[in-house]
Amino acid sequence: MKEHHKRSIIKAISWRILATLTTMALIFIFTGKMLLSLTIGFFEVISKIIFYYIHERLWNKIKWGKSHK
């Protein structure tokens, strides 16, 4: 079975939402501060998208494990 690109995109978005909500919940549990949880959640989701993009671009430059078929 082949996974379509649309399904992969939806899975990536749903994972990012779940991961960010988890971060926000943990911050709220430990601090009791909703505004802090929301602020960190916002910056977390933006920064992780940026860092993931940089990570992907760096891996594209590594030849190890690639095939020229």
Summarize pLDDT for 14-58 with one digit per residue, the tens: 999 999 999 999 999 999 999 999 999 999 999 999 999 999 899
One-letter amino acid at 56 equals E
Residue 37 lies in a domain: yes
> Residue 5: its pLDDT value, please?
86
- The pLDDT of residue 4 is above 90: no
> Residue 66: its pLDDT value, please?
83
Residue 68 lies in a domain: no
Residue 35 lies in a domain: yes
pTM of the model: 0.74
- Residue 3: band (very low, low, confident or very high) from pLDDT cuts 50, 70, 90: confident
Number of structural domains (the chain) is 1
- Give the ranges where the chain is alpha helix by DSSP (H): 5-31, 34-61
Range of the domain at 15: 5-61
